[in-house]
Amino acid sequence: MERKAKQMLLTSAFASALLFMPTHGKAAEWKLGMSHPQIKEVQTLLKAKGFFTYPTATGYFGTITETAVKKFQASVQLPVTGIVDDTTYTRLWQAPKPFDPIALVANAAPLLGKPYVWGGQTPEQGFDCSGLIVYLFQQQGITIPRTVATMWNAGTSVDVPAVGDVVFFQTEGTTVSHAGIYIGNNQFLHSASSTGVTISPFNSPYWSARYIGAKRYW
């Protein structure tokens, strides 16, 4: 009965979100060692998609930028060169399939009760907290970093989470250590070591005391 109730919570959580393609010009060929204001724009786009991990966009094309470009190129089936040519630049600006929170929570419903497994990121394996998030976003065609720490360094911070945003907690240590997906109605979906995949009250004394922020990746 409890699992059925949680599935009903998931299917009732929904919101609408659309991404639009901005107007942009063509890129020169940007590569390792170069500096230019347009490289800063490229880094900002890569950061929004979860590939650029440096805290700020600098306009300098260093090894971190090159690695981010390679990961992005691989994710969209482009030749992995680490060079931002016009094709790569155009793909960076292209709007992905609109994020669909209804589909995300629908995909999550069958996963309730799956076991917590360190390093797990498939229904067959089970999930750790970041593996669950990565898996569900992959179903939406969105690639995000694999670990909680790298997720925290990517995406866009939001003051108040909406359905589909990732919420972060400090459950141990001195920095972010746990994350889940906000599904509305003060509830979030996550994989906890003691429960496996479950839904918890976002505003409970335990979780609210450990909440440190939310990020958006769509």
The pair of three-digit structure tokens given for residue 6, joined into one six-digit string: 């949680």
Instruction: Choose the catalytic residue: 10, 105, 129, 199.
Output: 129
How many angstroms separate the CA atoms of 179 and 184, rounded? 15
Among 62, 59, 22, CA closest to 40: 59
Instruction: Choose the catalytic residue: 47, 71, 190, 215.
Output: 190
Total residues found in the chain within this entry: 218
How many angstroms separate the CA atoms of 202 and 185, rounded? 9
Exposure string over 15-42, b if 16+ CB within 10 A, otherwise e: beeeeeeeeeeebeebbeebeeebbbbb
**36 has catalytic annotation:** no
How many angstroms separate the CA atoms of 32 and 12, rounded? 48
Between the alpha carbon of residue 5 and those of residues 108, 185, 186, the distances in Å are 14, 14, 15
**190 has catalytic annotation:** yes
Instruction: Choose the catalytic residue: 178, 183, 196, 197.
Output: 178
**24 has catalytic annotation:** no
Exposure string over 111-128, b if 16+ CB within 10 A, otherwise e: bbebebbeebbeeeebbb
Which positions are annotated as active-site residues? 129, 178, 190
